[in-house]
Amino acid sequence: MISDWHTVHQQRQALADDLASLTDAQWATPSLCQGWDVHDVVAHLTGSAGTTHRSFWLSLIRSGFDFDRANAREVETERAPTPAETLQRFESTITSTRTPPGPFITRLIEIVVHGEDIRRPLGIEHAALPSKLREAVAYFAQDRLSGGKKRLTGLELTATDEGFTLGSGQMIAGPALSLLLAASGRPAALHDLRGPGVALLRSRLNL
């Protein structure tokens, strides 16, 4: 079970390093998160890294238990007038160990998936986490709240770079990081995947 904050902090620092050289135009690039640009995603990550159990529930209550509204309010709060200021805010959370409700693996998923939401549209390559992604994909396979269970039911996922297989049914094979992104609902990762199950997963992503 993944439970070390060091890995999460390491991934936050790696993203901050990548963000440091971006132009204003790159900060305004649409991310893989529908409706959010790069600047928005960094603001979300900043807010998420500072969220506690108490602040999570307070935000959700104030948003009428609407997760999308709560996320939008978070982005509005944490997005500074300039990218440089937003980056400073994000950097201040790198070593945070605060966490909203949920298993610890969601902290790693948060920074890895949103990191790719930013990097892939900008063409920035980032090495996957050897031996760290199996649990992340497995989490989505059983999680109803995120929609992961619905997406992955009846599919057998094989990570060609990390040597693990999860689930049963129609086969899909590809890099572990791309499997994770597809499991989290990112259609952009589908072009990295092969196998008869890709068509089914594509249909579940409303494509």
- pLDDT single digits (tens) 128-185: 776 789 999 999 999 998 999 999 999 999 999 998 999 999 999 999 999 999 999 9
Q: Buried (b) or exposed (e) across 145-175, using 16+ Cβ within 10 A?
A: eeebeebbeebbbbbeebebebbeeebbbbb
Measured between its terminal Cα atoms, the distance across the chain in Å is: 34
- Residues 111, 139 within the same domain: no
d(C-alpha 32, C-alpha 190), whole Å: 13
Domain tally, the chain: 2
For residue 199, the enclosing domain spans 133-204
Cβ-Cβ contacts under 8 Å for 49 (sequence gap 6 or more): 12, 90, 93, 94, 96, 98
Predicted confidence pLDDT, tens digits, the chain (207 residues):
445 899 999 999 999 999 999 999 999 999 999 899 999 999 999 999 999 899 888 877 887 877 788 888 989 999 999 999 999 999 999 999 999 998 999 999 999 999 999 999 999 999 877 678 999 999 999 999 899 999 999 999 999 999 899 999 999 999 999 999 999 999 999 999 999 999 999 999 975
- Residues 80, 169 within the same domain: no
Residue 128 lies in a domain: no
d(C-alpha 183, C-alpha 84), whole Å: 32
- Residues 32, 104 within the same domain: yes
- Residues 163, 112 within the same domain: no
- Residues 48, 9 within the same domain: yes
156 forms bridges with which residues in the sheet? 167, 171
| Angle made by CA atoms 7, 156, 142, in degrees to the nearest 5 | 55
pLDDT of amino acid 129? 77
d(C-alpha 59, C-alpha 69), whole Å: 9
Cβ-Cβ contacts under 8 Å for 101 (sequence gap 6 or more): 53, 56, 57
Quote the pTM value: 0.92
d(C-alpha 179, C-alpha 173), whole Å: 8
Out of 90, 122, 154, pick the residue that ends a domain: 122
